[in-house]
Structure 1
Amino acid sequence: MNNKPYKRVLLKLSGEALMGSDNFGINRTTLSYITTEIVKVFNLGIEIAIVIGGGNIFRGVAPGAQGMDRATADYMGMMATIMNALALQDALKCIGINARVQSALNIDQVVEPYIRPKALRYLEEGKIVIFAAGTGNPFFTTDTAAALRGAEMGVEIVLKATKVDGIYNSDPKKDPLAVLYSSISFDEVMLRRIEVMDATAFALCRDQKLPIKVFSIYKTDAFRRVVNGENEGTLVHI
């Protein structure tokens, strides 16, 4: 396991991470907490790219999406990620952090389009880059977008922020004897069909030799410990 601080990372945040205790939408207290955790890492001089999901907003209209064409529903979900990205950008701006949102869908009046060289330049300039709208294609999750953008940005690791503190051998909510893995291989994760990320994302990271760390974003200082190479969460590796 890496025991030195990473220099460039990609943080994968689910939309649900912004909900807090609410049923859907953005909980301002939770958003403030998450930005505080991000700033702790940013202040270490680490370059941060972020991919964010949209399940918290799309969940609010989920009953209306039942029976909808899958591609149409996926495009609606992509637009939800743009709303989350703008909210996160604004929250970071309020505490003096310069962040840029790039979208895989073109909405020029609201956000700039995804342009790889520009995103790389933003990172090198010390700006946080938030990638919205997934890959821009239906049928691909924001987990896959995180793997793709991570590879394109040349990050050292993809950090999957969840509500649990890593990958267990069974559901820790149901099994009090569940054991937390400190590390596990891509092949074993895919063989066991562990669903912390989708199979396409795992396969892409495996092929690019891009490790994944799964940890709890709700655990104070966990993000900072992860990027410092400390023993936190579960490392998925070749």
Structure 2
Amino acid sequence: MAFLKLSGIEAAYGASQALFGVDLELAEGEVVALMGRNGMGKTTTIRVTCGMLPARAGRIEFDGQDITRLPSHRVARMGVGLVPEGRRCFAPLTVEENLVAAARPGPWDFDAVSRLFPRLKERRDQRAVSLSGGEQQMLAIGRALMTNPRLLILDEATEGLAPVVRREIWAAIGTLRAETGLAILVVDKSLRELARVADRAVILERGATVWAGSMGKLERGVTDRYLGV
């Protein structure tokens, strides 16, 4: 049984429909890449999954429970951790305060996050607003982990970062995959990096699922058609 399952999801922003039938499945402990060109519905799919935008049609199941109509705070409490696009750290708070504010009981605490991202320990007393973009991204990931989720969703976690920081973020995602058993849904544009960490891919085109399968079966013709510029 799928750990996360989206079936026929439709959603809209007011009168403008954005999703026209998104189907997605993710097994417990699996890493799935959600892919597609800009504006194809990836972030909207994440917003609907997390209860931040209501679905007009379709069904979302998480660990066998229907969460389609649940508000975002209840989805989070069920074990869905989100690293949003744009980081959205609490700027006036210190690194440690950002992490503690999100904390829930479990193996992920300040020390565990610091082992994954040692720079956060070095910056623990600095305000988030003073951090570099890469450090803020590490903080956003750490904050999501501090909720001790069973599903981690990363929306463009490496966008706009320097290459050296991107490598650190991808290394951390690889560590999470290898050592934690977390289910991970990741949105990113780097096919090469996604191929290293993801088990399967789901591709969206104009708000609908157009391809799904293992990363090994993601052929050049598919990527050129749905991911090429």
State the TM-score, normalizing by the size of structure 1: 0.32
* Bigger helix share: 1
If asked which structure has higher relative contact order (CA below 8 Å, sep 6+), I would say 2
> Which structure has greater strand proportion?
2
